[in-house]
């Protein structure tokens, strides 16, 4: 049984060697059969060179260098397309997810679970704002989402091959992997762990990116924003109906119907405003349809190290043939 570890890396030169050493020492205790797949997500620092050196020294390492920065979720997706393990573990490069927890996850997998996902019981070294916003996000998300997404769960998890194959059949662009894994189903179990502070380097998720990521999560897994629009629309129509009755009454049964200007003016403004809000909501969804419709590859590979040469007729990489247009300098391990 082969266990694959996917590590997305973006400007992680300070930690990558230490992370590698720690992963290897943990994995060697679990199984002799493992592979480590590092995805360099277009780092501007020395990360790619470090990864190349690591790969040259260790046959169990494979490296995928993306052509530019595609973001964490795409880097992990690239990893999923390149694994060959029976179980696949996703872990961050900054040692915030302790590699020792992998052992527990693997034990659950041996017991027959298909997904063992890490749940953060405690997060050290994060700002109070990040703690608060993350907590709020997971709770709102759960209220709005169509599938139950476990609270306080990141992407640190083990997945069985079946789950990985299912994910590869989901080519959506606004990727929120932890939601997608919940959607897939199978037998899943939570593994509590303490999230450590970042070992070195800085977080690549500033506030703005966090908000975008939260929006991806909510809009890709929920139709609530659309439904809010419908209910608000019905309410508006009901109110304007009353308004029309009132206007007719004033017009037909009283003599003072000229001063009705105020209320109609307000009504026009109100309806105009509501319509703009709805247009925005609809626009957001249409924008997504448009983006999906372009069917661009999710990421592009610049170079591959440690893989067997790829034949473009090979159907094992069937998700996104275009994604494999990268140069392949892989030697057979």
Q: Which residues bind to ligand UDP, rule: CB under 6 A? A: 8-10, 12, 41, 69, 71-72, 75, 92-94, 96, 203-205
DSSP code string of 155-182: EEEEEEHHHHHHHHT---SS--HHHHHH
Among 40, 41, 81, 94, binds Mg ion (CB under 5 A): 94
Nearer to Mg ion by Cβ, of 96 and 182: the residue is 96
* Interacting partner of 71 out of Mg ion, ligand UDP, none (Cβ under 5 to 8 A depending on kind): ligand UDP
d(CA 315, CA 85): 17
Q: Which residue is nearest to ligand UDP (CB)?
A: 203
Q: Residue 41 or residue 81: which is nearer to ligand UDP going by CB?
A: 41
**CB under 5 to 8 A by kind: which of Mg ion, ligand UDP, none does 117 bind?**
none
Q: Which is nearer to Mg ion, 52 or 96 (CB)?
A: 96
The residue among 197 and 280 lying less far from ligand UDP, judged by its C-beta, is 197
Q: CB of 198: closest distance to Mg ion in angstroms? A: 5
Which residues does 231 contact at the CB level (< 8 Å), separation at least 6? none
- In order, the DSSP letters of 21-42 are HHHHHHHHHH-S-EEEEEEE-S
277/226 Cα distance (integer angstroms)? 11
Closest CA to 215 of 157, 156, 288: 288
Of 136, 117, 130, whose CA–CA distance to 177 is shortest?
117
Minimum CB separation of residue 245 from ligand UDP in Å reads 54
Nearer to ligand UDP, 203 or 240 (CB): 203
- With beta carbons less than 8 A apart as the criterion, state whether 288 and 223 touch: no
Stretch 191-220: interaction string toward Mg ion, x if CB under 5 A = ------------------------------
Decide whether 2 or 119 has the Cβ nearer to Mg ion. Answer: 119
- Cβ 280 vs Cβ 215: under 8 Å: no
Q: DSSP E strands: which ranges in 29-86?
A: 34-40, 61-66
Using CB under 5 A, which of 55, 96, 145, 182 touches Mg ion?
96
Residues lying near Mg ion in the complex (CB under 5 A) are found at 94, 96
């Amino acid at each position: 049984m082969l266990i694959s570890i996917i590590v997305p890396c973006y400007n992680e030169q300070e930690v990558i060697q230490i992370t590698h050493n720690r992963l290897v020492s943990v994995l060697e205790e679990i199984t002799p059969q493992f592979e480590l797949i590092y995805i360099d997500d277009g780092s501007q620092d020395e990360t790619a060179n470090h990864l190349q050196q690591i790969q040259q020294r260790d046959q169990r390492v494979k490296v995928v260098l993306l052509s530019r920065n595609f973001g964490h979720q795409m880097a992990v997706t690239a990893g999923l397309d390149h694994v060959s393990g029976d179980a696949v573990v996703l872990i961050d490069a900054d040692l915030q997810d302790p590699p020792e927890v992998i052992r527990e996850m693997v034990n659950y997998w041996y017991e027959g679970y298909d997904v063992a996902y890490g749940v953060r019981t405690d997060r050290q070294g994060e700002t109070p704002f990040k703690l608060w916003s993350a907590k709020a996000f997971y709770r709102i998300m759960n209220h709005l989402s169509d599938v139950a997404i476990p609270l306080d769960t990141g992407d640190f998890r083990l997945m069985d091959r079946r789950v990985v194959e299912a994910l590869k059949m989901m080519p959506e662009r606004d990727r929120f992997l932890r939601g997608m894994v919940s959607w897939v189903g199978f037998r899943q179990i939570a593994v509590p762990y303490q999230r450590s502070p970042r070992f070195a380097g800085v977080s690549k998720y500033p506030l703005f990116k966090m908000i975008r990521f939260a929006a991806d999560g909510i809009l890709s897994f929920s139709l609530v924003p659309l439904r809010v629009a419908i209910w608000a629309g019905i309410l508006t129509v009901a109110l304007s109906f009353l308004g029309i009755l009132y206007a007719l009454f004033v017009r037909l049964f009283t003599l003072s119907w000229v001063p009705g200007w105020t209320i109609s003016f307000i009504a026009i403004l109100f309806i105009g405003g509501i319509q703009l809000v709805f247009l925005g909501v609809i626009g957001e969804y249409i924008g997504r349809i448009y983006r999906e419709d372009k069917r661009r590859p999710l990421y592009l590979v610049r170079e591959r190290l440690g893989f067997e040469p790829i034949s473009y007729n090979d159907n094992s990489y069937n998700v996104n043939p275009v994604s494999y247009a990268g140069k392949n300098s892989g030697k057979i391990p």
